[in-house]
């Protein structure tokens, strides 16, 4: 399918709500979150799973991913972002028809793709990919490039093939980030039980065991796991928490995952 090109800039949709609109405060918050994880010395993974709620809630979990990326600043040139379309029904996959994405920290260049067609609707108010961008700017630098793709209702093998093609197109210096939260609005005990089962399905590369109500980015997540299985990689859990453990109330929580997807050490 041919690429649909656009010279438009995608403005922030959730700055001031999911993360600070003030550049100085935003950078300071992200640096604090990454510094709290501390220096991480480990090989760069081919892919990561990161949450996408407001930074006050999921930021400490997301920072586990970005602290690891920060350790490879200068090496990672492009990031393929896959995640859900919360506000616009979507079947299949849609790239974003923007030349750049604006954040309070500046603009991020978006690299077009020939793997899937593009559509504005799934991206124009979507937060799941947007919230990753300021983290990427701080962790990897202002010259980072991204290819954001929304994953709607789709068969897992199809999404796995799309992810494989996106990464092949992006080249050796690319990393995949799959954006998803886990269960929504259970009490803490129920969320712990449901999210533990989902985390086990992730670690064991069993995407069919992850139900849509157990991960809002389920189609991107299932495809990422199928791609990992096909390429001999395995997920390693970095963090698992709920909003009650970071900033919220224990009777209505959301789960947050962080995983690195890497080749097993032989």
Which residue ranges form the domains of the chain, and what is each CATH number?
9-262 (3.40.830.10)
φ and ψ of 232, to 5 deg: 75, 25
Report the predicted TM-score, pTM, of the whole model to 2 decimal places. 0.95
Q: Compute the distance between CA of residue 130 and CA of residue 121 in angstroms, rounded to an integer.
A: 14
pLDDT digits (tens, 9 = 90+) for 78-90: 999 999 999 999 9
Q: Compute the distance between CA of residue 263 and CA of residue 233 in angstroms, rounded to an integer.
A: 4
Which of 266 and 165 is assigned the larger pLDDT? Answer: 165
For the four alpha carbons of 218, 221, 223 and 226, in that order, the dihedral sign comes to negative
Contacts of residue 179, Cβ cutoff 8 Å, sequence gap at least 6:
50, 51, 52, 81, 82, 83, 84, 128, 129, 131, 132, 217, 220
Q: Compute the distance between CA of residue 212 and CA of residue 43 in angstroms, rounded to an integer.
A: 32
For the four alpha carbons of 190, 196, 199 and 205, in that order, the dihedral sign comes to negative
Average pLDDT over residues 238-262: 95
pLDDT digits (tens, 9 = 90+) for 166-214: 999 999 999 999 999 999 999 999 999 999 999 999 999 999 999 999 9
Please give the pLDDT value at position 248. 75
**Res 225 pLDDT > 80:** yes
């Amino acid at each position: 399918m041919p690429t649909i090109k656009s010279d438009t800039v995608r403005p922030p949709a959730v700055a001031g709500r999911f993360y600070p609109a003030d550049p100085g405060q935003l950078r300071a918050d992200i640096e604090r979150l990454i510094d709290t994880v501390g220096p991480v010395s480990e090989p760069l993974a081919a892919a990561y799973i990161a949450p996408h709620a407001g930074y006050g809630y999921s930021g400490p979990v997301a920072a586990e991913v970005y602290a690891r990326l920060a350790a490879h600043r200068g090496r990672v040139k492009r990031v393929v972002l896959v995640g859900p379309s919360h506000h616009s029904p979507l079947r299949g996959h849609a790239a974003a028809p923007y030349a750049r994405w604006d954040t309070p920290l500046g603009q991020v260049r978006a690299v077009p793709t020939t793997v899937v067609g593009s559509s504005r609707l799934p991206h124009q108010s979507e937060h799941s990919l947007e919230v990753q961008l300021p983290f990427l700017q701080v962790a990897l630098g202002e010259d980072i490039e991204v290819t954001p793709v929304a994953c709607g209702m789709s068969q897992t093998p199809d999404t796995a093939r799309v992810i494989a093609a996106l990464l092949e197109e992006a080249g050796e210096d690319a990393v995949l980030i799959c954006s998803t939260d886990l269960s929504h609005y259970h009490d803490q005990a129920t969320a712990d039980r449901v999210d533990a089962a989902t985390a086990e399905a992730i670690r064991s590369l069993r995407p069919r065991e992850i139900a849509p109500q157990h991960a809002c980015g389920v189609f991107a997540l299932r495809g990422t796991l199928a791609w990992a299985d096909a390429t001999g990689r395995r997920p390693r859990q970095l963090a698992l928490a709920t909003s009650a453990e970071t900033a919220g109330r224990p009777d209505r929580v959301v789960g947050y995952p962080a995983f690195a997807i890497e080749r097993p050490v032989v």
